């Protein structure tokens, strides 16, 4: 009998079909008919309404989870190099050359315990000296909480007084903290798209500028490909799209937008020149700037060269 399970995953919600304990297929989650009327609806300036598809838009890698799970290359049990003897000659010179043999879980656990005691001997107080042991787990994972760095993994290795390997800011640190420092915002710099902003955008926007931004290529986490359809709607509305990117990116090709290709590293000069034109020709939205922003006086002084005598 086939059973259906749901899973959020790191690339969008899916339905997992299981029969006799084995996954038979994976599909994007379908919104039940009784729940669909609760879906959000946005309206453009002409009164046309848009709602999300009933089938979730998930990332491509999630649709391949069945293949990954049952891959012939997946290691399902402990393996040991055939010429590696934990109590004798370890033959480091044959690493990457000698083959592997399967061992039992008991043997693997015994070897691990011996190696931990060898590398992290206890002092006279029974405290482990594990500075020779290093360990690392990535920021993104799908193996459950046990092996995560803020869970039993971290507790176990901390008991050994190990030397942690600190991974780089490879996730929210970049878009939540780094992006505001560099660009002043993080709306589309790694964070999943926010549909609650669509209503305002669709009703009040004539042009969208994609500055160093290729969402059709860089999406695929958490909300999957949910935002793809939004840009299709933008095209239907006749919304102008401008792309500022040295590379003619995929989203630009799909949207057929206006493309500006500055040389790498000249974005700041371009932005300053645009701001200079706004101030010089007095073409910026005074009401918005005066009521919705801060620091305009200092910014204008810098752009117009009042500080250093060099107009930007």
Please write the tens of the pLDDT for every residue from 115-165.
Answer: 999 999 998 888 889 889 998 877 766 666 777 777 888 889 999 999 988
Average predicted confidence (pLDDT) for the chain: 85
- Answer for the pair 42, 50: CB distance below 8 angstroms, yes or no: yes
| The pLDDT of residue 285 is above 70 | yes
Q: What angle do CA 165, 166, 169 make, to 5 degrees?
A: 150
pLDDT computed for residue 301 by the predictor = 96
Task: List, as one string, the DSSP characters of 214-264.
Answer: -HHHH--SSSTTTTHHHHHHHHHHT-EEEEE-SS--HHHHHHT-EEE-PPT
pTM of this prediction? 0.66
User: What's the pLDDT at 140?
Assistant: 66
d(CA 73, CA 285): 59
Give the per-residue pLDDT at 269.
94
Return residue ranges of the chain for CATH 2.20.25.340: 2-69
Contact 133, 120 (CB under 8 A): yes
Instruction: Give the SS3 label for residue 174.
Output: helix
For the segment 245-261, the average pLDDT, to the nearest whole number, is 93
Distances (CA, A) of 169 to 136, 140, 163, 260: 14, 12, 19, 30
Cβ count within 10 A of residue 98? 13
Q: At what angle do helices 267-281 and 296-303 cross, to 10 degrees?
A: 100
* pLDDT at position 189 over 70: no
2-69: CATH number: 2.20.25.340
Q: Write b or e for each residue in 264-282: b if 16 or more Cβ atoms lie within 10 A of its Cβ, otherwise e.
A: eeebeeebeeebbeebeee
Is the pLDDT at 179 greater than 80? The verdict is no
Q: How far apart are CA 8 and CA 65, in angstroms?
A: 13
Dihedrals phi, psi of 22, to nearest 5 degrees: -130, 140
């Amino acid at each position: 009998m086939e059973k259906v399970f749901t899973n959020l995953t790191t690339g969008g919600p899916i339905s997992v079909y299981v029969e006799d304990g084995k996954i038979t297929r994976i599909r994007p989650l379908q919104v039940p008919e009784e729940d669909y009327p609760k879906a959000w609806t946005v309206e453009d300036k002409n009164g046309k309404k848009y709602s999300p598809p009933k089938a979730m838009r998930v990332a491509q890698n999630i649709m391949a989870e069945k293949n990954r799970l049952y891959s012939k290359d997946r290691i399902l049990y402990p393996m040991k190099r055939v010429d590696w003897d934990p109590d004798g000659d370890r033959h480091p010179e044959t690493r990457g050359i000698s083959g592997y043999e399967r061992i039992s879980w008991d043997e693997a656990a015994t070897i691990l315990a011996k190696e931990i005691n060898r590398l992290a001997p206890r002092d006279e107080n029974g405290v482990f000296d594990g500075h020779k042991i290093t360990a690392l787990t990535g920021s993104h994972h799908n193996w459950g909480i046990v092996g995560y760095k803020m869970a039993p993994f971290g507790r176990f290795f901390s008991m050994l007084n190990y030397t942690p390997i600190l991974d780089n800011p490879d996730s929210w640190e970049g878009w939540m903290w780094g992006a505001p420092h560099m660009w002043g915002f993080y709306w589309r710099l790694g964070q999943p798209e926010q549909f609650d902003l669509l209503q305002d955008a669709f009703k009040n926007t004539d042009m969208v500028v994609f500055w160093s931004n290729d969402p059709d290529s860089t999406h695929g986490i958490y909300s999957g490909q949910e935002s793809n359809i939004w840009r299709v709607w933008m095209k239907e509305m006749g919304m102008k799209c401008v792309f500022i990117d040295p590379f003619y990116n995929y989203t630009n090709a799909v949207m057929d937008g206006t493309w500006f290709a500055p040389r790498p590293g000249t974005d700041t000069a371009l932005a300053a020149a645009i701001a200079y034109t706004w101030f010089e020709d007095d073409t910026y939205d005074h009401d918005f700037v005066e009521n919705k922003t801060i620091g305009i006086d200092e910014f204008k002084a810098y752009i117009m060269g009042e500080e250093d005598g060099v107009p930007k």
